[in-house]
Structure 1
Amino acid sequence: MSRLTSQQLSRLLAVINVDTSVNFPIPYMTVEERDALRRLVDTGREWDAWLEVRRRGNLALAASTERALEQGRAMLKTQQAERRARELHDMQIAQERASEQRASELQTAKLEDICAGKTGPVGAPKKRKGDKWTDKEMRTLQKESIQPGATQQKLAEEYGVSRQAIGAILQRAAVKFRTAKPATQWPPSNAKKLRRN
């Protein structure tokens, strides 16, 4: 068994007597636990008492470290939630600004179309090579093509495609939306007249 130094013995007695004037942490102990330490010191087993105080001090330090870690984790979660909320808010503001800008651009385009005197629908959709034309768009194009003064070249400029593409689309629309003639009746009602001749 080792003997305690005078400094260790004074610390041990400060812990047992709950002396708060010392400049080291005193672990929490119940009155019974302090009495047990006092009995160990009185019976000459200061070293065992010292080891118990150190063990309790280490446990208290570990517990306080764990509490600090938990507080840090909770703070980190809160910060992450706040950051995510700010990001969502910023995304909503950006979407609102973009939709406002799109609306103003569309309104400007409509005004430009009206000022240019275009005969088609205001703000006709611009098409690119390979874009599919819906039935509705083909019918609209077909109706526009029969308007007075409408040419394939003007329609091509309005829709942003070539004149040849407009011609091909108009041909497809004519075939697709052709009204069917009623079937002929056989034999024809004037068959007797035809045989006499």
Structure 2
Amino acid sequence: MCAICNFKIDFGVGHPLALTVAVATRKAIDAGIVEPIDATGGALSAARMRMSAVEALNLLQARIEAAHSEDALLALPDFYVLLIENDTWGFFHATTNGFDPDVVPEMPDVTTTDEAKRSNIVIMSEAGLRAWLEQRFDIELALRESLFMIDAPASSTGSLTQMLAIAEPAVTDDC
């Protein structure tokens, strides 16, 4: 499992691009491309949502690990994934045994304008991630429609995009 992180980011803003992803996700839900995540209230609602987000990150991790050779995995830059529904962060650091679940990353830098200090971050909704994993749309549509956004230095953006494209489930014709 990737490292699941509890970051306290000021003003509850998980990432400046989260609103863009949220709007794109709402449009996809309205269009029937993405199923909404069950946000049923109750005493255990937050815990259920967190566990669901962690499960979705584990599914993404498994998909990436299965699609990449050891050398390709090790060539990936370290990166964060933010699931916007409840600010669940995952940190992905590749090792020869897959992604390291025990690494303790620094808090991602989400505001710097210094290219050298920018964190590699993939921003998505859990609903969008699950729909992509279920082959409801491809990575090209996800990036074009802002269902997934990559906020990273130019040197990492291409490899993260390629990583997702390689890990992409085959989209079926009946979608």
**Could you tell me the TM-score, scaled by structure 2's length?**
0.22
Q: Which has the larger radius of gyration?
A: 1
Alignment TM-score, normalising by the size of structure 1: 0.20
Higher relative contact order (CA 8 A, sep 6+): 2
More helix by share: 1
